[in-house]
Structures are given as structure tokens and as C-alpha cells.
Amino acid sequence: MSETNSMGHPKLQPKFPVPSDIEVSQDIVREVGLLPIQDVAREAGLLDEEVIPWGIAKAKIQLKSTLSRLSSSPDGNYIVCTGINPTPLGEGKSTTTIGLAQALGAILGKKCFACIRQPSQGPTFGIKGGAAGGGYAQVVPMEEFNLHLTGDIHAITAANNLLAAAIDTRMFHEDSQTDEALYKRLCLATNKPFNEIMKKRLIKLDIDPNKSPEELTPEERSKFARLDFDKSTITWQRVLDTCDRHLRKVMVGMGPNETIQPRGTVKGETPRVQHSRETGFDITVASEIMAVLALAKDLPDLRSKLGNMVVGYSKSGAPITADDLGCGGALTVLMKDALLPTLMQTVERTPVLVHAGPFANIAIGNSSIVADKLALKLVGEDGFVVTEAGFGADIGMEKFFNIKCRESGLIPKCAVIVATVRALKMHGGGPPVSAGKPLATEYTQENIPLVTAGCCNLVKHIQNAKKFGVQVVVAINQFKTDTQAEMQAIRQASLDAGAFDAVVSNHWAEGGKGAENLAKAVANACQETRSEDFKFLYDLNLPIRDKVEIISKEIYGADGVDFSELAEQQMTQYENSGFGNLPICIAKTQYSFSCDAAAKGVPTGFRIFVREIRSCVGAGFLYPICGDIMTIPGLPTRPGFYDVDIDVNTGQVIGLF
């Protein structure tokens, strides 16, 4: 009989050398077998009726009934896993999140969940590859995790683009019809009373919602029917979950049927005009709807947030929302299943909740509030939930604390900061690291001076985390060429900077066993944290400008912030509209504290340039875009999709990562 782990499941038997990620996943599925997803759910404390199986490897979890049943249960220990500014290859933050959860659950026998984001198709087929973790610290089956999953990202794409279509369609009809004609088509043609979404707009316009459509005065009809978009203020863009740089700027409305007879002109005497405008695409994971999914607390909150999303302004300066367009309810219908977190398992059969998937460089970079809340209730007071914050701690962790924790009310006990010898050598002055190119010898041979010089980047992240009042544990993610002396240099620098502990972890090669010491350090750190010590970085009631400057100076180390003329106008508009008290979600490069991706270590003497500020009123934050950050990435010369194929005889995916 094979050995078992602390959960009573077959003990992980890692192979050496470690196969590719997809080979590890497929070996586990074939040789050990997946635990039936219903059994994963039962072991995690879920009832059968709370689980909606989605094939054999994953399931959706009912939210309302489950959270209601567990409402009186105490929360477990809340841990955020983040990292230093990475190389383009990534430093294993998702892998560490999974490895730590495996160590806490399968090795130490603690109740534990990992909560991670759903990967975007953009990096999966682009540069970075999948995001299921890696080696013997990953979610399985990794091909299902990375490809479609349960369709949540497709639902976001559909909802986002429905709203985009609604915007252009409404402008098309408004530009060619009188107010009375618009009103008749909107409200009188169906012979029905005002529905709830219409009543919401009536209340917003100070019109009696109890009136019938026939009772509105001509003035009230005009106010209701004409949104009167100022096209220059529209920030809502279409999305797709693919890296496609050629869609950053597009013209829409160029077809032969997208011409109109301008309102107020004489048909036959005035030529028809093309109803076109310049717009663009974002990647789906940067959509405000993705952020809404991550920050919604339940179905009513999801409906409210989606309906309140501001897509532009009228010519009089009034904000126009999805509900003004009559679209909020339909968006919620498209998103209702996406609100339910997806349950999966690691290679050691510990439970994982996969939910939401925003990038941290162009969005909030965190998995969902509902997944974290559900997991914290299921693990109980002595259990642990490891949730992931994307990219470097200067963006993912900062947004986790200031946006996600503020919205959820959840208080973290420990921040795990992932560091690697490779990335610290880069920050210490090593040659550039590029995906698809061999590493320079500086990265494959011992070079303690480079590591020591680069530790300044790690130290700054530790100092930043401690500003929020949480304990910091550094996870030194071990690669096969790292030496003991190099890793000891990182440990010493971490402790000198005030980290609670710094632990070498080899979970990629060994699974949970390789992260056992890290898990013990994290558990000890949680015992040393007092909830009352946690604090936010800024007061929400400060002016927008001040909040952006606090983040830029305190977290990035900038000398100050410069705002474009457009950004200045937008700040005035948002504050006049009552949106000035929202938290800030800065979009910037993940590769540096500054907006210059090439500025490594801890840059000084720089300023942050804000070129525009988008409003994500529904999600509940403002979105300054800094430097040359793009909201839809491009593909490299040799994208990852070159290596992805299928064995047509077995149906098995090959070469995914």
C-alpha cells in the first residue's frame, strides 16, 4: 500500500528531473488519478447540494446558501501571496501560492484553501504561458484550468461587448431621431408600464416613477429618452481575451448600413453621413466587468455594480450608466453563473477556488472577494486561506490592501513576498532577461554581489508591506542553479529589512514537502499579527490628486506626479460627479517601481506621468493610466501558441506549458 499524506491521500512522488508542467499534470491524472470533485468538496466542508459539478475535474459552488449556512463560522487566517518586481519569465508567485497551500494542507494537516485567478488566454498563448502554478505545485488538470475553465471570461467578454454595442446603437438612433420618436420606440411601442430599470432612470431624473409612460410631459419624455452622449468622454471599449495590438485603436461604424440622416435635416436634400467613431479594444481581463466580478459580494451587489458602471458623459456633464442604457439587467443575466467560484484541486488533492482574473498592471490583479470569503468560512478559525495578488507587490499587493480589503472588510494576517535569485540579480544590474532567449551566465553561475545589490528591490517591497501593519514572510523560490550562499544573502537582507522570516522553498520540484518550512513560518507569522494593526495607506475622502500622489511617493518612491491636461479635466469631472471618494487603481508596468520598465532595483529621482484617468464607478475605483502601459498587450515574434497542439489519436493537449 502506498504512503499517504496528512489528508489520507496518496503521497506525492515527484520525478527528477521535473517534467514540463503539462506532463506533470497529465502524469498525476493518469498515474494517481483525480479525486472526484464531489469528494474534494465534501472534504472541504461543502454539502452535496452546494456543489454544481462541471465535468469531472471542476465544480461551481453555490454562494447564497453556502455563505448563509456558514455565516456564524469564524474566519480562518488570511494570507496574501505577492512578489518582487518580476522578470518577463515570472518568478513563481502562482506556483508559491499553490505550493504553500499544499504544504499547509497535505503536509501540516491544516484546513487550507488556495484562492487564485483564472488565467487569461492572452499570456497563455503569448509570452508567459499558463498560470496554474508549475512543476509539482499546480492545479490539475492544468489544460482545463488554462483553457476556458467554466467560461467565466467568455461571459465577461459577452457582457462587456453587449454594453459596447448598446452605446453605439443608442448614439446611432439618437443622432437620427427626434426626442418624441425615440420615446415612442423606447416606452410606448410595447404598451407596457415602465420596468424596474426604467424606473431607476426616472428617479435619477427626478420624475415620478409611478407615472405611466403615457403620462410623462414632453419635457420629461425628452429627458428620459435622450442620453445625449458627448462622444469624447466615452471610455468603454470592446474586449477580447487575446493579445492583439492591432485592435488598440479602431474605427467602428464604417459599414454601408451605418449611415444616418442627421436629425433635423430634410431627407433627400441633405446627404446621409457615416455614423463612425474611433474607439479600441482592451483585453477582457482589464474590463471593468472583470473587476466587478472580483469585488462583488453577492448577486444583488453584482447587479448594482453592473448597473452603476459609468460608460461616458452627456453633453451637459451628467454621467451615463449601463442602467441608463437599459442594459444592467441583461449584463447580470450573462454574469450570473460567473459569480459562482470554481472548485478544483492541486496535485496533492488540496482544494482550490479559482475565480476572477484581472491583471495587476492594468486592473486590480486579485481573485474574488466571494471566493476568499467562502474559503475563510470553510477552513474555520484554525485554517488558512492563501490568496494571490498579481505581479509585483507595488501594484498587486497595494491594490489588494487599499481596494479589495477595503471593499470586503477582510483583514489579512500575513503577506508572503516571493523573491528569486534570478530576479534579484536582474535588479542588481544583471543583463536583461527576455522570454525565449537563453539566460546570461550571470544568472546560471553564483554571483553574490549581484544578488546583494538587487536585494534593494526586495527590501523596498518588505517596507511597503509593513506600512499596512501585516507580518511579512519572504519565500525564496528556489531554482536549480541557485546556490546556498546566494539564497542566504537574500534571507539575511530580508531579516535585516524587518521581515518576520525568510525561507527557501522548493515546492516546484518537491510539491508541498518543499514548502513545509515556508508553511510553518507563515503559520507562526499569523499568530503574531493583531487585526487592529492593519491600516490603509490613504483616506478615501482625500482629493483624487492626493491619493495618486500618496501611492506614487509611498509605494513607488516617486518624487511626484504629473497629470496630462486630459487627466486634469477628468479629475475635475469625477469630483464634480461625486466620484472623488473612490480608491485608486493605478495602471503601470509591473517590471519596475517606476513607469520605466528598464529602471531596475529601487529607482530614484523619477516622476509618475498620468496620461488619462478612467472611471470604474461600478467596480468602485478610479483607474489612472501611467506611462506607456497598454490595456491590450501584443504578441511576440514567436508566441506560445507555436508549441500548443493536440494528439489527434488520444485527444490529449500537448505543449501548453
Active site residues: 93, 95, 117, 128, 360, 391, 479, 508
Q: In this structure, how many other beta carbons lie within 10 angstroms of the beta carbon of residue 214?
A: 9
Cβ proximity of 375 and 45 under 8 Å? no
Going by C-alpha positions, the residue among 371, 344, 367, 341 that lies closest to residue 285 is 367
| Three-class secondary structure of residue 190 per DSSP | coil
Alpha helical stretches, state H, 13-106: 21-27, 37-44, 64-69, 93-102
- Using alpha carbons only, give the angle 141, 142, 145 rounded to the nearest 5 degrees: 95
* Dihedral Cα 225, 231, 233, 236, nearest 10 deg: 80
- Using alpha carbons only, give the angle 51, 96, 404 rounded to the nearest 5 degrees: 65
No. of helices (H) and no. of strands (E), the chain: 24, 26
| Three-class secondary structure of residue 163 per DSSP | helix
Going by C-alpha positions, the residue among 348, 461, 441 that lies closest to residue 8 is 348
With the C-alpha atoms ordered 354, 358, 359, 361, is the resulting torsion angle positive or negative?
A: negative
Going by C-alpha positions, the residue among 291, 418, 431 that lies closest to residue 357 is 291
Going by C-alpha positions, the residue among 515, 510, 439 that lies closest to residue 18 is 510
User: In which residue are the cell numbers 524587518 written?
Assistant: 498
Q: In this structure, how many other beta carbons lie within 10 angstroms of the beta carbon of residue 114?
A: 34
- Side-chain-side CA neighbours of residue 399 (13 Å): 34
Residue 627 gets which letter from DSSP?
Answer: T
How far apart CA 510 and CA 93 sit, in angstroms, is: 16
Cβ proximity of 18 and 509 under 8 Å? yes
With the C-alpha atoms ordered 107, 108, 112, 114, is the resulting torsion angle positive or negative?
A: negative
Residue type, 43: E
Cβ proximity of 130 and 370 under 8 Å? no
Going by C-alpha positions, the residue among 453, 448, 457, 456 that lies closest to residue 486 is 448
Count how many residues are written for the chain.
657
- Side-chain-side CA neighbours of residue 369 (13 Å): 26
Give the burial class of 467: count Cβ atoms within 10 A of its Cβ; 0-12 exposed, 13-18 middle, 19 or more buried: middle
How far apart CA 110 and CA 275 sit, in angstroms, is: 61
Strands annotated E in 117-249: 133-134, 137-140, 229-230, 238-240
With the C-alpha atoms ordered 105, 111, 112, 113, is the resulting torsion angle positive or negative?
A: positive
Residues 6+ apart with CB under 8 A from 620: 295, 305, 403, 407, 582, 583
How far apart CA 31 and CA 36 sit, in angstroms, is: 15
